[in-house]
Amino acid sequence: MSINTFGHLFRVTTWGESHGPALGATVDGCPPNVPVTEAMLQHWMDMRKPGQNKYTTQRREPDQVRILSGVFEGKTTGTPVQLMIENTDQRSKDYGEIAEKFRPGHADITYWQKYGIRDYRGGGRSSARETAARVAAGGLARAALAVLAPNVQITGYMVQMGPLAIDRSRFDLDEISRNPFWVPDADAAEEWAAYLDGLRKSGSSVGAVVEVVARGLPAGLGAPVYGKLDTDLAAAMMSINAVKGVEIGEGMGAAVLTGEENADEITIGPDGPVFSSNHAGGILGGISTGQDVVVRFAVKPTSSILTPRKTITKSGKDTEIITKGRHDPCVGIRAVPVGEAMMACVLLDHLLLHRGQVGDGGGQIG
Amino acid sequence: MSINTFGHLFRVTTWGESHGPALGATVDGCPPNVPVTEAMLQHWMDMRKPGQNKYTTQRREPDQVRILSGVFEGKTTGTPVQLMIENTDQRSKDYGEIAEKFRPGHADITYWQKYGIRDYRGGGRSSARETAARVAAGGLARAALAVLAPNVQITGYMVQMGPLAIDRSRFDLDEISRNPFWVPDADAAEEWAAYLDGLRKSGSSVGAVVEVVARGLPAGLGAPVYGKLDTDLAAAMMSINAVKGVEIGEGMGAAVLTGEENADEITIGPDGPVFSSNHAGGILGGISTGQDVVVRFAVKPTSSILTPRKTITKSGKDTEIITKGRHDPCVGIRAVPVGEAMMACVLLDHLLLHRGQVGDGGGQIG
Amino acid sequence: MSINTFGHLFRVTTWGESHGPALGATVDGCPPNVPVTEAMLQHWMDMRKPGQNKYTTQRREPDQVRILSGVFEGKTTGTPVQLMIENTDQRSKDYGEIAEKFRPGHADITYWQKYGIRDYRGGGRSSARETAARVAAGGLARAALAVLAPNVQITGYMVQMGPLAIDRSRFDLDEISRNPFWVPDADAAEEWAAYLDGLRKSGSSVGAVVEVVARGLPAGLGAPVYGKLDTDLAAAMMSINAVKGVEIGEGMGAAVLTGEENADEITIGPDGPVFSSNHAGGILGGISTGQDVVVRFAVKPTSSILTPRKTITKSGKDTEIITKGRHDPCVGIRAVPVGEAMMACVLLDHLLLHRGQVGDGGGQIG
Amino acid sequence: MSINTFGHLFRVTTWGESHGPALGATVDGCPPNVPVTEAMLQHWMDMRKPGQNKYTTQRREPDQVRILSGVFEGKTTGTPVQLMIENTDQRSKDYGEIAEKFRPGHADITYWQKYGIRDYRGGGRSSARETAARVAAGGLARAALAVLAPNVQITGYMVQMGPLAIDRSRFDLDEISRNPFWVPDADAAEEWAAYLDGLRKSGSSVGAVVEVVARGLPAGLGAPVYGKLDTDLAAAMMSINAVKGVEIGEGMGAAVLTGEENADEITIGPDGPVFSSNHAGGILGGISTGQDVVVRFAVKPTSSILTPRKTITKSGKDTEIITKGRHDPCVGIRAVPVGEAMMACVLLDHLLLHRGQVGDGGGQIG
């Protein structure tokens, strides 16, 4: 088991390498009768697609997703959905040096130590290109959510790039799609552009924090105690390349709160419980409260930089390396649609789990 | 599936409620011929046991673990190991009010919304008492690690309590077991004692950050891309009650690093690769590098406090609640042995997974 | 993973050895709000209990089942249900010889070869005593079915004992509980009694065929193509000790049918499709048709006999063995309630799976 | 979860419909460094390929398998292997009538009742065409077995076609590949040819029994008690289209044996235990003994026949149906390579499981 599958009932297995003929996602357990087309999935693929502006890798991939099974006359049939994306722009010659040297901060060395063989072209399986398959699967999850939980809205955006954070007082949802950074703050967008431009020219890279919010989720989703909604979200986000930290609601900051501060007080409203705050990030005891589900994750800077770093060769010699391939100065940018896709998959999965175990048997208040 | 199981090959299913007759862990997949006794497990149980000092809940449980199966003449047989802990000090009368009111920041409301029924005595299944079963299972995992990877050492400790953080320059491993906070800093221990004493007397509570480190782990463990070592550690830690954030290595702080800073440079040493730093927390591409594996998690303050908080009743009326039961002013303290236990389970699981898929086929350097 | 769990959503993990302190079943994923008591489960336990008549092992176990978790005020809570049965009559001295010699036809040798250690007392984990835990879990599954699919009736019975088969023209459901063989044919019951009495006195044993039928199951259950209803039933029955063959509907006899004979013709009736026959055993393409689900399995004779058989010792010496312990001349008898229990677990599991993936979205006819 | 995955560590997910653009197998958990090429897999595909002689469906598919991922420079990398087979000969016009009428004995009706939608072209997902993906995955499993257990030889053959059974005294392994029925008996091959020719001309069909034997398997494989080797083999075979019964060793015939007859006596030989017989089919207590593993399964006759059968329409009207498409008079023939493929997958899976849990810790004799 090399565990390329995630999900309990909505099960996504991704496959494929950066420079193989194709990659994709085999999705098992999608509910039947969900309207879905390749164009609907392509919408999300295009968000993640490389080469769209100067801030992301210049690899040019159409990232055209094909549905090879599980959909008949525009609807899912309940059988496995195969989503395939062919690789087209594979400049393998760029990667010769990596076959022998390990990039510091990259999976080159560990894949070798683990398997004793690796497809070194463009990172092979460890490449962020794998996330294209996640976005395709996430698109399918969204299509199913549109049927099963039409109020759910999933929105991802950047809240920090290197030392630069957004100003929450200027938070503007509409701004997200207007700038290349998916940042909900027009002023930040300008500032970040200047910062990243400098970074890009110097061949450097920087980390980021992405936040993903799901609105309109019903209460009661989550499967304690090892399939908690936050547990599964933490795993989903941590599985994305380069992610080093995950937070739910208050996150690491919960450590400094007192019990009084942390308690999201409850009053009764016309439509049920109303919470005075959302330190919990919409999840208590692993189960959704009906509030917004709020997840954040930190993405480290890519290790592919132009500054020489000390490293060793496969044969155990000291050397240096610089990476000249086409890479992202801030991979966090392209992680935004990936985070959204993971959120969509996890939420759908828990909707199905809840329906399976509990049906309509949840508790009423009032 | 309510998913009370974790692990791929070393599979732990915990069961039991805070005030039921017993709770425990059903462990499937433990390797055979591992020497283990109840006394060995009890050593770890006693670390987590409540009522040991004035800083933890005054519930007095002997937390005596019994091995009901899977061990014969002092060794595991390869069959399921049942670890049972009987509940003895169950003052159910303390919990009457909670049957009708929901504690803000607690799983009371979500368990009700999910299941339409809950064992409200002492939090039932959502109680931190569930973690006793994890510690028992973790003890078994440690016993197996002692055979399969005898160099592995797992150490947990607190690095932050509310606003008070340790001073890394005073870090002292030996200090950890000398104070009631598992804090590796003697000065901090004193300061924290005063702080927590005040908090306890006022009936308040506070959050914390726990760090768990595994030393001596071989390179090559981890199963990309959805069973990455960091993915599984994130899930394991996030599944612990009250945890809101998980970090690997640099964690959320990775966002502010540049690629130059983040790259742990590599040189060749007498025993293989030597890294100049450990921003990666011992994991690259989801696979262990052979460096220390470093995980941190934030624990929110317990919601059981003496200050009245606004809440609602099951019948939908506004009201207030204070919680008079025996609780922990800083649950983070008792999360330390739990975090260690989860680390032990995840590492053993990945050792077995690696042995199953790869055997001795990993790559050599030099 | 030694895989002591079965089920997808209703997950049953059995644990315990024949002569350990206890054995049981950890059941995860039972729906909440299912009325269940220890007495309800005991009803099924008593069916399987040894020592009830001269035709089954004279080991005397009360087989009292205790519910340790997951049930509150007489109803399931949706959390794991721990079902424990304490072992009381453990005459370990009977089994000394088995520690050194392998019984032909028994798991003694393979457990040793696999694990390099085994609990040899009474067969340890390989003992049919493990099936007590299955019957307890099956009782819980029946309780849930009574809520979710109240029309479902599960009935098991013997159709063959050694060379003696029932006469289907005398089939009488009411007769099943009137004789010690669970045989639906009063004449057969008498004949079998005489036959088995002779066998018992000579210290021999014999095989059997058990049939289990589920009536009243809705159409549409089953998860193609590797979790087909028949696939899961085949696995469930084959996992019972001593089972060597499993048949659905026509079973092995399907080989001699032509397509014309095998086609269960369909006409429309007042309540939907009516089938002219049931060669399919109620399952087409792995999915239930709404007809009776019919499963049969063959149980081999127990290897514990008084006639000496050639065998070897652990140290590799040729020798002979006879088994003097208390054993069943026809273990098939006690397999009847076990087969029913497995059927109940599989059906409930597939009800939950179907509800999770499809909800009310199945197709109507007419 | 529609459960299109099988295996514990060597996990195969098949996808695709009979008349979609492609079908395939996503294989996760294959060990690294296994030499494998498309040509090696094609060898097995060609065995199952339709249209090779007049006794199988006249659909003409090249069944060319492509490796899209997980193999680099002729060796597996330990990452998911995607095996894709494009559909080329899709005469969808043949299947119009099936969209409205249900074929008796076919999954048409149950897929409709389950999902409320189905791809009716050529049976869609329920078509035996799905087994092409299994054969591809089985080819990969064989390649891995060739490295990990080079002595293992897997051989499938027919032992019965309708009323005609082989004569075991004429059993000839070499004959299997010389006739279109994979029958190890030259006289039977001739007799069967005449019989099937008549059946084919009359538009009828007939059932069959297939036997698959694995030689050279080490002792100790199998994971009691719900992942027994025989349990997993039973599930694997029962999951093949049209299979209605599965037998291990003596199978259903075990019912008529006495304990004396059934006990495979053991003596010590130069290379370890020697068994006097193999009623057990190479498996005791779910674990391999080192003897030949022997599995048989019965395949029902295809429901696609030219004789009119009573059925109903989706709108609930009585009608009749004959099936004119291109079909197999005895689908059992093409089930032979499929049974071999399933055997290969299960054995490899259990080799990896055993290596993961036990390593080299199995018990020695002598």
Q: D197: domain CATH number?
A: 3.60.150.10
How far apart, in whole angstroms, are the C-alpha atoms of residue B250 and residue B256? 10
Separation between Cα atoms, residue D272 and residue D266, nearest integer Å = 10
C4 is in an annotated binding site: no
Amino acid identity, residue B271?
D
pLDDT per position as a tens digit, B19-61: 999 999 999 999 999 999 999 999 999 987 766 777 776 667 7
Which stretch of A334-348, B187-201, C37-51, C279-293 has the lowest confidence by average pLDDT? C37-51
Instruction: Read off the pLDDT of each residue in C98-121 and give the average, rounded to a whole number.
Output: 93
Chains A and B: how many Cβ contacts under 8 Å?
444
- State residue C58's pLDDT score: 64
B241 vs A contacts (CB less than 8 Å) = 285
Is residue A136 within 8 Å of residue A37, measured between CB atoms? no
Q: Do A6 and B226 touch (CB under 8 A)?
A: yes
Using CB atoms, list chains with 3+ pairs below 8 Å to chain D.
Answer: A, B, C
Give the whole-angstrom CA distance, residue C129 versus residue C132: 6
Mean of all residue pLDDT scores within chain A: 94
Nearest-angstrom CA–CA distance, D337 and D291: 22
Flag if D316 and C5 touch (Cβ within 8 Å).
Answer: no
Q: Assess whether pLDDT exceeds 60 at residue C92.
A: no
Q: Per residue in C199-211, pLDDT tens?
A: 989 999 999 999 9
CB-based burial label for D191 (10 Å; 0-12, 13-18, 19+): middle
Which chains reach chain B with 3 or more Cβ–Cβ distances below 8 angstroms? Answer: A, C, D
C interface test, pick of B69, B86, B125, B354 with most C CB neighbours within 10 Å? B69
Give the pLDDT confidence score for residue B325 in this predicted structure. Answer: 66
Nearest to B318 among A237, A247, A267 (CB): A267
Domain contains D96: yes
Burial of B270 (0-12, 13-18, 19+ CB in 10 A): exposed
Average pLDDT over residues B190-195: 96
pLDDT tens-digit readout, B172-184:
999 999 999 999 9
Distance CA D10, CA C360 (A): 34
C7: left (phi over 0), alpha (psi -120 to 50) or beta: left
- Say if residue C359's pLDDT is above 80: yes
pLDDT in tens for each of the 366 residues of chain D? Answer: 679 999 999 999 999 999 999 999 999 999 999 999 999 999 999 987 766 777 776 667 789 999 999 999 999 999 999 999 999 876 656 667 778 999 999 999 999 999 999 999 888 999 999 999 999 999 999 999 999 999 999 999 999 999 999 999 999 999 999 999 999 999 999 999 999 999 989 999 999 999 999 999 999 999 999 999 999 999 999 999 999 999 999 999 999 999 999 999 999 999 999 999 999 999 999 999 999 999 999 999 998 888 999 999 999 999 999 887 667 899 999 999 999 999 999 999 999 999 999 999 999 998
Q: Of D16, D28, D79, which is closest to A82 when you measure between CB atoms?
A: D16
Distance from CA of B69 to the nearest CA of A (A): 23
Which range among A265-279, A321-335, C79-93 has the greatest average pLDDT? A265-279
pLDDT digits (tens, 9 = 90+) for B323-333: 876 678 999 99
Q: CB–CB of B284 and A106 under 8 A?
A: yes
Binding site annotation covers C48?
Answer: yes
Helix (H) or strand (E) holding D336: helix D332-357
Distance between CA atoms of B328 and A187, rounded to whole angstroms?
A: 44
C363: in domain: no
Whether residue A363 lies inside any domain: the answer is: no
**pLDDT (0 to 100) of residue B90:** 63
CB A107, CB B219: distance < 8 Å: no
Which residue of C lies nearest to A359 if distances are taken between CA atoms? C355
Cα separations (Å) of B305 from A211, A259, C212?
A: 31, 7, 56
D48 is in an annotated binding site: yes
User: Are C68 and B20 in contact (CB < 8 Å)?
Assistant: yes
Domain that holds residue D45: 5-358
Residue A58: per-residue pLDDT: 64
Q: Which of A327-341, C95-109, C140-154, D82-96: highest mean pLDDT?
A: C140-154
Domain count, chain A: 1
Is C31 annotated as ligand-binding? no
- D307 lies in some domain: yes
Domain assignment present for C366: no
Task: Say what the pLDDT of residue D216 is.
Answer: 98
Subunits next to A (3 or more Cβ pairs <8 Å) are B, C, D
Contact A75 D117 (CB under 8 A): yes
User: For residue A122, what pLDDT band results from cuts at 50, 70 and 90?
Assistant: confident
- Tens digit of pLDDT for each residue in A242-294? 999 999 999 999 999 999 999 999 999 999 999 999 999 999 999 999 999 99
Q: Calculate the alpha carbon distances from D144 to D69, D75, D147, D349 in Å.
A: 16, 10, 5, 10
Cα within 13 Å of Cα(C19), Cβ side:
17
| Amino acid B304: pLDDT | 84
Q: What is the pLDDT of residue B49?
A: 76
Residue A110 contacts residue B282 (beta carbons within 8 Å): no
Mark yes or no for CB contact B78/D357 under 8 Å.
yes
Angle of helix B332-357 relative to helix B131-148, nearest 10 degrees, comes to 40
pLDDT at D110: 97
Percent of chain C past pLDDT 90, that is, above it, reads 86
Asked whether residue B233 carries a pLDDT value surpassing 70, the answer given is yes
Nearest CA-CA distance, residue D122 and chain A, Å: 13
Whether A366 is covered by a domain: the verdict is no
CA distance C88 to chain A (A): 33
How far apart CA B38 and CA B52 sit, in angstroms, is: 20
In this complex, the chains that touch C, judged by 3 or more CB pairs closer than 8 A, are: A, B, D
What pLDDT score does A59 carry? 66
Q: Do C358 and A78 touch (CB under 8 A)?
A: yes
D contact test, residue of A9, A12, A15, A348 with most D CBs within 10 A: A15
CB contact under 8 A, B356 and A312: no
* pLDDT at A324 > cutoff 80: no
What b/e sequence results for D285-294 when a residue is b if at least 16 CB atoms lie within 10 Å of its CB, and e otherwise?
A: bbbbbbbbbb
Give the amino acid at B144. A
Number of residues that make up chain D: 366
Q: Is C310 annotated as a binding residue?
A: no
Q: Which residues from chain D sit within 8 angstroms of residue A29, using beta carbons?
A: 1-3
Is A76 annotated as a binding-site member? Answer: no
How many beta-carbon pairs under 8 angstroms link A with D?
Answer: 163
ipTM given for this complex: 0.96
Judge if pTM exceeds 0.95.
yes
User: Which residues in A have their CB inside 8 Å of a CB on C?
Assistant: 9, 29, 31-33, 78-79, 224, 352-353, 355-359, 361
Q: How many CB pairs under 8 A join A and C?
A: 44
Taking the CB of residue C57, how many other CB atoms lie within 10 A of it? 20
Q: How does DSSP classify residue B19?
A: T
Q: Do A3 and B117 touch (CB under 8 A)?
A: no
Q: Kindly state whether residue D252 falls inside one of the protein's structural domains.
A: yes
Candidates B21, B28, B30; nearest CB to C13: B28
- Chain D residue with Cα closest to C307: D260
Is C324 annotated among the ligand-binding residues?
no
Is C72 within 8 Å of B1 when comparing Cβ atoms?
A: no
User: Does some domain include residue B366?
Assistant: no
How does pLDDT run across C158-174, given as a tens digit for each residue? 999 999 999 999 999 99
Helices C131-148 and C332-357: crossing angle in degrees, nearest 10, is: 40
Residue B204 is assigned to a ligand binding site: no
Q: Which of C158, C243, C262, C288 to mutate to test the interface with D (most CBs of D within 10 A)?
A: C262
